[in-house]
Structures are given as structure tokens and as C-alpha cells.
Structure 1
Amino acid sequence: MKLQAKLDAMREDFENGRFPLVPTRDQIDTMGRATQSLIDSRQADHALKAGDKAPDFTLKDAEGNSVRSRALLARGPLVTTFYRGVWCPYCNYDLQALEEVRPQIEARGASLVGISPQTPANSRKSQRDNKLGFPILSDAGTAVAADFGLRFALPDDLIEVYRQFGNDLPRINDDPAWVLPMPARYVIATDGVIAYAEVNPDYTRRPDPSELLPVLERLRSGTAA
């Protein structure tokens, strides 16, 4: 089953009370309005795109080790996925789908990393629960997400819904700000130029990871995207 089909089924279960957490109609409506407002803001149009230069970054992995984007790019292309956090079931399905294609990504000479505002302890839980073979890097204060044009502030009514769900982002992220990255995937070529970008302000919509493979093939063969 394709990733989006799994996400659509999850959303249907969530909105129809077939989920461990059963939301009220008002909570569902608040979440929908917040997503539509982010779409209408057109912030995604200002995020980095294919052809842009990706910012360099150095972030800590779940074990506290520094990971430098330049060091990864010295070995081959870099696939990055911006991950909202351990609390987001849509994001966890996304990570699982990426893990399924990770061997094919690595066979094409690329590295794969997740980038999340959550603490290293929560990233360890994400990696363990989703059985990941790639690291999740902690983007404290969503600084790298901001460099990519992905950071946004949650509206007050959505903050209240998240609190009702037990999603205390200041605690999860060790950051008092209620900010998140828009879900995004990038393929960065070894020269630091973005070869593929997919940014969607609707966190329930994700491209299938198989879309990454032709991009990596083109980079390996040296042809233009």
C-alpha cells in the first residue's frame, strides 16, 4: 500500500472515532482550520526549492553526537526529512515508509536523516518505536527548519487542542515556543544544491518515498534533474 493510502485510512479512522484518541467535532474542525490557514498563508511557497543552495547545518543525533551536513555530502547526496515529532502518527508512518526504501536510497550512494525539533530522548523513542536505521537529528529551536523556510507558529486554538491531546510541545521539544516545521523532504546534491524539494503545509499529505529514487539515479548518472 502506498504511503498516502495509509495516511488517508488513518485520518478516516481518527475522524470517525476508530482511533485510541477519539477527538471531538470541535477539535477536528480546529485542526482543519489551522491546516487551511497555513495553506492559505502560502508560506510553503517561500520555503527552499529545487535549485536553491541548502544551508549547512550541524546537529546532534539521538546519542549526542554531532552530525555535519558537509561531512554527509562528502560521501554522497543527502536525503533529509523534516519530522514534527514522536507524538504525530502521520509523521511516524512517514518515517516507517522512508525506512522501507532506505536500502534503495543507500544503494544509490545517498544518506538519509530526519530533522526534528524534539529532544534527543524523544528521537531515541522515535527511532526505537519505528525501527529506524537512520538517525533523527535534534533541531533545537527549529533553527535549521527556519533556514529552510519551514518553521511556523501554531495558532492559539490549535495549541489548546494539542494540550487537550497531551501533546505538550514545549516539554517534548524543550522549547517554550509552540513552533513546528512544515513536513518536507529534500534531496541535496553533493555540491549543496537542492535537487528535489517537497513541502506540504497539510501534514496529512505526504509523497511516496519511491519518488526519491529517480532523483538519486539522475544524480548518480550525472544528468540534470
Structure 2
Amino acid sequence: MSLQDKLNAFKADFKGGKAPYFAPPDIHPVMERATAELIASGQAGRAIKAGDRAPQFTLKDQDGNVVSSAELLAKGPLIVTFYRGVWCPYCNIELQAMNEALPEFRALGANVVAISPQTPVNSRKAVRTNALDFPVLSDVNGQTGADFGLRFALPDYLVDLYKNLKNDLPAFNNDPSWTLPMPARYVIGQGGVVLYSEINPDYTRRPDPSDMLPVLEKAATQV
């Protein structure tokens, strides 16, 4: 089953209120409105994309270790996935799929990192819950997401919904701004240029990890 098939199955269960998902049905139009507005804003088209130089970053992983994109790129191509947080089931399903593909990525010389605005405590939870074998980096105040053009502010009506659902982003992220990154996936070549990009303001849609393999195979032949 592809990653998108898994996401679609989860979405159907969530919208259908199947156990253990008992979210009030009136939340779905609100979430869909916010997604439609983010799509209409055109922000995804203005984000860093294939052919652009990737912003460098130095962030701490779930254990407080400093991780530098420059140091990782010295070893090989770098896969970066931006995700919203451990509270987002769509994100967790994606991270699990990335972890399953990790041996193929590493066989082609690539490293993988995930970046989220959440605190290291929540990053540790993401690693533990999803049994990840790659680091989850804490993007303090969402600055790296902003550098990539992915960071956006939640509209007021969505903030109200999140509060009603006890989804306290300021607590998750230790940041009062109520901002998130659009989900995005990048392959950055050793020269620092983005070789592959996929940005989707619809958080329920994610590319399959296997989509990156041809890009990594081509990069491996050019070393």
C-alpha cells in the first residue's frame, strides 16, 4: 500500500468517526476551509523548490545533539522532511513510511532528517512512538521553515478550533505564534542545490518516499 493510500484510509476513518476517532463532524469543514485558503494563497509556489539553493540550518535533535546540514551534506545527499508535529496523525504515518524506506536511502548514500517546530520533548516522543532511526530536529520558532518559505500563520478561526480540541500548539512548540510549516519533502545535493522538492499545503497529501529514489540514483552516478 502506498503512503497516500494509507493516508486516504486514515482520512476516511477520521471523517467517518470510526473508533478510535471520535472527532466532532463539524470540525471537518473548518479544516478543509483553512486548507483551501492556504492553497489559494499560492505560498507553496513561492517556497524553496528544485533548482534553488537550500538554506543551511543548524538545529538540535531529540536528544539535544547539534545537527548541521553542512556536515551532513559533506557525507552525501540529504533528505529533509518538514512536518507539523507528533500530534498530527498524517505526519506520523509519513514518518513511518520514511523510516521503512531508510535502508534504500542509505544504500544510495543519503541521510534523512525530519524538521518540526515542536520541542525536543515532543521530538523524542515522535522518535519513540514511530520507532524512527533518523533524527527529528526542533526548529525553534519555526525559523528554518520560514527560510524554506513553508511557515504560515493559522487563521483565527482555525486557532479557535485547535483550542477547542485542546491542541495547544504554543505548548507543543514553546512558541506563542500559532504557526506551522506546510508539509514538504526535499532532496538536497552535496553542492547545496535542491534536486527534488514536493510542497503541499494540503496536509492530508504526501508523496511516496519511493519518488525520491530516481533522484538519489542519479545523484549517486554524478559523484
Q: Classify the TM-score, shorter chain.
A: over 0.9
Paired letter, 1:159: V
3-state SS in 2 of match to 1:67: strand
1:173 corresponds to: 173
- 1:191 paired with 2:191, answer yes
Aligned pairs (5 A) from 1:68-107: 68-107=68-107
Q: Note the alpha carbon deviations across 1:64-105, whole angstroms, 9 max, x for none.
A: 111100000000000000010000000000000000000100
Aligned length: 223
Paired letter, 1:102: L
Distance 1:187 1:209 in 2: 11
Q: Which moved more, 1:194-203 or 1:157-166?
A: 157-166
Distance 1:46 1:92 in 2: 26
3-state SS in 2 of match to 1:59: strand
2:118 corresponds to: 118
Q: Which moved more, 1:205-214 or 1:11-20?
A: 11-20
Aligned pairs (5 A) from 1:1-225: 1-222=1-222
Give TM-score scaled by structure 2 length. Answer: 0.98
Distance 1:25 1:163 in 2: 16
Distance 2:20 2:168 in 1: 18
Give 1:20 deviation, angstroms: 2.5
3-state SS in 1 of match to 2:211: helix
What percent of counterpart residues are identical? 59
Paired letter, 2:114: G
Q: Note the alpha carbon deviations across 1:92-126, whole angstroms, 9 max, x for none.
A: 00000000000100110010000000000000000
Contact 2:86/2:92 (CA < 8 Å) preserved in 1? yes
Q: Note the alpha carbon deviations across 1:169-190, whole angstroms, 9 max, x for none.
A: 0000000010000000000000
Paired letter, 1:133: D
Distance 1:38 1:81 in 2: 19
Give 1:11 deviation, angstroms: 0.5
Distance 1:196 1:168 in 2: 33
Give 1:21 deviation, angstroms: 3.6
Q: Over the residues paired in the alignment, what is the CA RMSD in angstroms?
A: 1.0
Paired letter, 1:162: Y
Paired letter, 1:111: N
Stretches of structure 2 that go unaligned for 5 or more consecutive residues are none
Stretches of structure 1 that go unaligned for 5 or more consecutive residues are none
Distance 1:110 1:89 in 2: 26
Give 1:24 deviation, angstroms: 2.4
Q: Which moved more, 1:10-19 or 1:112-121?
A: 10-19
Distance 2:2 2:73 in 1: 29
Contact 2:13/2:21 (CA < 8 Å) preserved in 1? no
Give TM-score scaled by structure 1 length. Answer: 0.97
Q: Once superposed, which parts of structure 1, at least 4 consecutive aligned residues long, lie more than 3 Å away?
A: none
Distance 2:189 2:66 in 1: 21
Give 1:157 deviation, angstroms: 1.1
Give 1:164 deviation, angstroms: 2.0
